[in-house]
Structure 1
Amino acid sequence: MIVVTGATGNIGRRLVDRLVEEGVPVRALTRDPARAGLPAQVEVVRADLTEDTDPAPLLAGADALFLNLAAGGGDSVERLIDAAVKAGVSRIVLNSSLAVTGTPADETNFIARSHALLERAVRDSGLEWTFLRGGNYATNALNWAPAIRESGVVRDPHPGARSVPVHEADLADVAALALLDRTGAHAGQVHRLTGPEVLTNAQQVAAIGEAVGRPTRIEQISEDEAAEAMAGPHFPLAAARQLVRLFGQSVDAPAFARTDTVERVTGHPARTFAQWAREHAGDFS
């Protein structure tokens, strides 16, 4: 039995499908089982990891756990790790971040810091582990969907910001292989995952325009405007400003280097952003 947190998210949903294809029993954790829309053979369980409840029942009988910080805050995820140890789970595959470097620089970047703390908690658990450090998710481009649908114009402070977008299906493919590993090839491994090409934000927006069949472009705005638009009840303005500045650093500095991890681990080339845009064209139309 494999337990998947964030099972209805972009990565989790793909992962559940992959595990079902392999004939593996899956327990999918989600806040709203009625709206999950997961395959019938999946055990769908209501779980809000932000609630102060005992997570032990969620892990009963489980052999492995896919852990995603996006499914709950740091404290709640650490409670889940403790529960996994007590429940006899043998393996955790953690969806981490390429922002983690294992250096003191991790303390200056809140994205790196939160994931580095979680990596440490998983290591300290004594369970077998694999870390998936993904780069910029292609799905982050969905944040542009309302603007593209409305006007075709994306307002962004850094049109030239560079990244190597990785497809959620590639992340799910690697996660499935790590969760199902019977050879020990993934035990104690840190997989650094990127897409196959470095793209600017402007190039990503243009690729979406090609996929939907109409012109799209970026209009540059200030960092303050972008941070204020990004901030919300669960994302403080200070954190938004830090994130906007972080994105800006990639304009003149090298982006995260491309890796061949997806192809090396899965045997197939990493999916391109253009492919992702075509698959998600309906989200932008």
Structure 2
Amino acid sequence: MTDKVVFLTGAAGGIGSATARKLADRGFTLYLVDLKNKQKELQQLASSLPGMHYDDAIDLRDRSSIAKAVKRCIAKTGHIDVLVNNAGLMHPSPLARAKETEIDDQLQTNLYGAIHLTNLVLPHLLQSRGSVVFVSSLAGIVPAPLHSVYGATKAALRSLSMSLHFELREAGVSVTCVLPGTVAGAMTNDMARRSSSPMAYVHPPIDVQSVAEAVVRAVYSKQLEIYVPYGQGFWSRIGVLFPGLLHAVFPVMAKKGSRNYEKWTKSGVFGEMEHSK
């Protein structure tokens, strides 16, 4: 058991709810936040977990909403020991046809919101010598057409995490970035219904439980990065080291991804994922 408090964004479903269950089982007190229209799911989650937990509405696109949620968390729990920046969204599209609102939503939710929230929570983490976990993506390492804005936010999030890792380690605050591949769940289902990159389907979608386990490991570890699965992360980094190889490898991988997409669509994989959140 522990008296530590975790501030967890994007907690209503997918990686967030799976992570919440694993942290609650380890005795953490959870301050679960998500959008206002997800409050019913949040309340059900909080009430189903062992121990005393809290749920709250937050809009990471709104700085005042972020500030109010942090203040309410401190008022109710007294401290914050762990911040998990998990919330994120994706609107795959060719950039030339991307809607301004969808571009802004991805930038503000995935990146700006995480920056502003971390900035406000850091004084509390410095006091508790706590930890920050950023949930990024392998899309932030390997470029994929049609995912340019999403990939840019995740690449920036990874860079932010790495900088903070070294900036804060002497102060006793650990910072770790978790980078999963394509994850089974609502985001991937939505992606599959839109114009998305075949690179997203080269490998089978990862179960949310595997990503949640990585997030929990990040809370306890002082690692710079954790890849899920490790093998995909390894080859992604190799590809970036030799960018010229991407021109040769991409067409082959894209064909494989397209074949998998067709196969998985026909077999109902994306529909099944709706129930695995």
TM-score by length of 2: 0.60
Cα deviation, residue 5, structure 1: 0.4
144 and 205 in structure 1: CA distance in 2 versus 1, 3 angstrom threshold: farther
Cα deviation, residue 133, structure 1: 0.7
Give, in whole Å, the separation in 2 of the partners of 1:93 and 1:160. 23
Q: Deviations over 1:44-94 (max 9, x none)?
A: 122222112125425531111110241724222211111121222521111
28 and 196 in structure 1: CA distance in 2 versus 1, 3 angstrom threshold: same
156 and 118 in structure 1: CA distance in 2 versus 1, 3 angstrom threshold: closer
Contact 2:184 2:207 in 1 (8 A): yes
Q: CA RMSD in A?
A: 3.7
Partner of 2:96: none
Contact 2:35 2:59 in 1 (8 A): yes
Pick aligned residue for 2:263 from 197, 200, 203: 203
Contact 1:81 1:122 in 2 (8 A): no
Cα deviation, residue 141, structure 1: 4.5
Pick aligned residue for 2:189 from 142, 151, 154: 142
Partner of 2:81: 63
Identity across the alignment (%):
15
1:113 aligns with 2:108: no
Q: Deviations over 1:213-251 (max 9, x none)?
A: xxxxxxxxxxxxxxxxxxxxxxxxxxxxxxxxxxxxxxx
96 and 278 in structure 1: CA distance in 2 versus 1, 3 angstrom threshold: closer
278 and 101 in structure 1: CA distance in 2 versus 1, 3 angstrom threshold: closer
Give, in whole Å, the separation in 1 of the partners of 2:116 and 2:196. 37
Give, in whole Å, the separation in 2 of the partners of 1:136 and 1:28. 24
121 and 201 in structure 1: CA distance in 2 versus 1, 3 angstrom threshold: same
187 and 7 in structure 1: CA distance in 2 versus 1, 3 angstrom threshold: same
1:42 aligns with 2:49: no
Partner of 1:86: 123
Give, in whole Å, the separation in 2 of the partners of 1:123 and 1:195. 18
Q: Could you tell me which amino acid in structure 1 is paired with residue 177 of structure 2?
A: F
168 and 82 in structure 1: CA distance in 2 versus 1, 3 angstrom threshold: same
SS of the aligned residue for 2:80 comes to: coil
Partner of 1:169: 209
Contact 1:166 1:195 in 2 (8 A): no
Cα deviation, residue 99, structure 1: 1.9
Which protein has the bigger helix share?
2
SS of the aligned residue for 1:112 comes to: helix
Partner of 2:23: 19
189 and 156 in structure 1: CA distance in 2 versus 1, 3 angstrom threshold: closer
1:133 aligns with 2:164: no
Contact 2:32 2:54 in 1 (8 A): yes
Structure 2, unaligned stretches of length 5 or more? Answer: 90-108, 233-255
Q: After the TM superposition, which of the residue ranges 116-125 and 2-11 deviates more from structure 2?
A: 116-125
Structure 1, unaligned stretches of length 5 or more? Answer: 148-153, 213-276
